A = this chain, B = another copy of it.
Amino acid sequence: MTRAPVADLAPGNHGLEGPVAHYLARVLRLRAGSAFVAFDPARGLEADAHVVSVEGDVVTVQIGPLRAGKTPSERPLTWIQGFAKADKCDAVVRDATELGATRIVVAATKRSVVKLDEARGAARANRWSRIAREAARQCGRSEAPRVDPPTTWHEALAQIDAATARFCLDENAHLPLAPHLFEALARSAPLAFACGPEGGLDEAEVAAARSAGWTVASLGPLTLRTETVAAAVLGAVRIWSP
């Protein structure tokens, strides 16, 4: 079901104007009779709603009874992070938790500098789970994301089903992320992103993602640090579909 943010949500008929009306009518393409879920991000409330009419710049909507809203974490949102050195993965786990990830997977890639055997991998996963629980508590999330034991890049990709909108972020990609991500957000699809370590992904890893059905997309010409990619992408997801 399409979800749209409506400030100061209250039951009854309301004529909406300005950016919210544009968002409903033009971006989400709702028409008279279209049903959607209106949510009030500031108060954590939502309601079933439908569009009564679209007339010029005014969208009249009928809002049903209010109920407690879903938390941002309820839509499946997986972040696969190429294993990066030092405390970069700690920062990614913290940011991804604040920004609504429900599952975090650290994956060994060809350019991951540190190698993890099973025992060290388990110890790291425990550490990242602790960081995720602490970050969830601090930001007010009721549940922390699940942190999987470290695995391989190929295995991590294979674990995400085809019903999920899957994006592999690669600075050499030609395809811009925005239109494809927007389409996935508009239909409230489960989301998964995969991002390489600080050295990036090698060609075989990108090819593996592509042949497994992932959309390989770029964030633009500038080179981001790997720990910035998570915050930027999950920030965009958070802001455009809280």
Cα of A223 to Cα of B238 in the assembled complex, Å: 12
Chain B, Cβ-Cβ closest to A8 = B174
Residues from chain B with Cβ under 8 Å of A172 in the complex: 42
Task: Given A23-B179, A26-B27, A99-B232, decide whether A220 and B41 contact each other with a Cβ distance below 8 A.
Answer: yes
Given pairs A22-B182, A99-B228, A236-B239, 19 additional interface contacts (CB within 8 A): A5-B178, A5-B179, A18-B183, A41-B218, A42-B175, A44-B221, A139-B223, A139-B224, A139-B225, A140-B221, A141-B222, A178-B239, A178-B241, A181-B239, A228-B235, A232-B232, A235-B235, A236-B236, A236-B238
Give chain A's interface residues, CB within 8 Å of chain B. Answer: 5, 7-8, 18-20, 22-23, 26-27, 29, 40-44, 71-72, 95, 98-100, 138-141, 172-183, 218-225, 228, 231-236, 238-242
**Between-chain CB contacts (< 8 Å), 30 pairs:** A7-B175, A19-B179, A19-B182, A19-B183, A23-B182, A26-B26, A26-B29, A41-B176, A41-B219, A42-B172, A42-B176, A44-B221, A72-B220, A98-B222, A98-B224, A98-B225, A98-B228, A99-B228, A139-B223, A140-B223, A176-B242, A178-B240, A178-B242, A181-B239, A182-B240, A219-B238, A232-B232, A232-B236, A232-B238, A236-B236
User: 5 tightest A-B contacts by CB?
Assistant: A232-B235, A231-B231, A5-B176, A19-B179, A235-B235
